[in-house]
Amino acid sequence: MIKAVIFDWAGTTVDFGSRAPMGAFVNLFNEYGIEITIEDARRPMGVNKWNHIDELLQFHHIQSQWVKVYGRMPTSVDVDEMLKAFTPMNIESIRQYSQLIPGVREVVTLLRARGIRIGATTGYTRELANVLMPLAAEQGYAPDACVCAGETEQGRPSPQMVAHCASLLGISDPTEVIKVDDTVPGLMEGINFNCWTVGVSVTGNAMGLSLEEYQDLTDSDRALKENHARQELQQCQPTMVIDSVENLLSVVDEINDRIISKKRSAAA
């Protein structure tokens, strides 16, 4: 049976649309004389922030701007410096976009009532998470354990963060864990750990809209965007894709039924 659910942060439990990192990345590159779009900034989402910056600098249209401005290719030292500049920018955006996604507090309360422990992994560093977690706690959401970028030798899509989080929760069997995430790297983290994985399509990076923007869509546009976001996450073949954490309880029930059926089949 499921003993733990390990969530991502932005786009999964807080920050509908995963907007906090996006504006910070755009502002960061603007500070260095480089123009990037929100769509550019979203493409590497889910990895740690050092790797995110590094991946952006590999995009041809961004790298060519860098060479034009600085007369050379970007280096790892540049990424180090940009990460230092990025952190205070992201702190401000985290404070702005720290609202819990609708349904998260209620679902987590019901999961705990079933004896299920709550964990979190994130591409945020501990410095950034230390800003976000008290803001989430004030709204009624506080995971039992949280593992941040840089606290394991490898980040996503490696399973090391989710494995470490499960260990902190006292769980060694991956089949007793569900990883919930709104990005492909975050889902791959769970897949590589061999646990159950649930993609969150509407509230996260794949959709990329605020709650208000999402609610203002026409029915046809909403259906089109929902389908596109769902397909983006399904490319890594998670166990399931749902619209939001609000829909998670029925998924937990279904996975538990699968576990029971498998055990019955094995015993037959």
| Cβ-contact 52, 26 below 8 angstroms | no
The catalytic residue among 8, 15, 54, 181 is: 8
Rounded to 5°, angle at Cα 122 from 116 and 126: 110
Look at the alpha carbons of 64, 69, 75, 79 in this order and tell me if their dihedral is positive or negative.
negative
C-alpha–C-alpha distance, residues 145 and 4, integer Å: 11
- CA R_g for the chain: 19
Between the CA of residue 241 and those of 57, 110, 117, 126, 235, what are the distances in Å?
31, 20, 21, 28, 11
Quick check: is 49 catalytic? yes
Q: Which residues contact 141 (CB under 8 A, 6 or more apart)?
A: 13, 14, 100, 104, 105, 108
262 catalytic? Reply is no
Residue of 49, 54, 182, 225 marked active site: 49
**Catalytic center residues:** 8, 49
